[in-house]
Amino acid sequence: QSALTQPASVSGSPAQSITISCTGTSDDVGTDNLVSWYQQYPGTAPKLIIYDTNKRPSGISDRFSGSKSGNTASLTISGLRAEDEADYFCCSYVDMTTVLFGGGTKLTVL
């Protein structure tokens, strides 16, 4: 199976909201299985920011939210801040032998 499709880049101004899409197929994102999202700053490890499609780990700002509809999952960041500038990856659990990541989206805060 192929990697999930994310826009290579998105941008927004401070205080705005942006949404990053993650498109798969009816065999992965489009199933009942849940999706997770990761934030990665250059030179650092990825960090879990959304799990089970729409849940936030402890310590993650409620400005981050996740959803899924059909074959597309989405990450929305509201009240954009300069510190949100990073790479974002979606991840779809398919089955015990298949875990798919998106190609990643670079978020630029203008």
Partner 1 sequence: QLHLQESGPRLVKPSETLSLICTVSGVSISDSTYYWSWIRRAPGKGLEWIGSMFYSGTTYYSSSLRSRVTISLDTSKNQFSLSLTSATPADTAVYYCARETRAYFYDNNDHKVGYNRFDPWGQGALVTVSS
Binding site for partner 1 (CB under 8 A): 3, 6, 31-34, 36, 38, 44-48, 51-52, 57, 89, 91, 93-104
Eight-class DSSP state of 55? B
In angstroms, give the least distance from the CB of 14 to partner 1.
27
In angstroms, give the least distance from the CB of 36 to partner 1.
5
Cβ proximity to partner 1: between 18 and 91 the closer is 91
- Cα(102)–Cα(7) distance, rounded to whole angstroms? 9
- Chain centroid to CA 51: how far? 10
Cβ proximity to partner 1: between 32 and 62 the closer is 32
Q: Which residues lie closer than 8 Å to 89 by C-beta, 6 or more apart? A: 6, 37, 38, 40, 46, 101, 102, 104, 105
In angstroms, give the least distance from the CB of 77 to partner 1.
19
- Cα(31)–Cα(88) distance, rounded to whole angstroms? 22
Cβ proximity to partner 1: between 48 and 110 the closer is 48
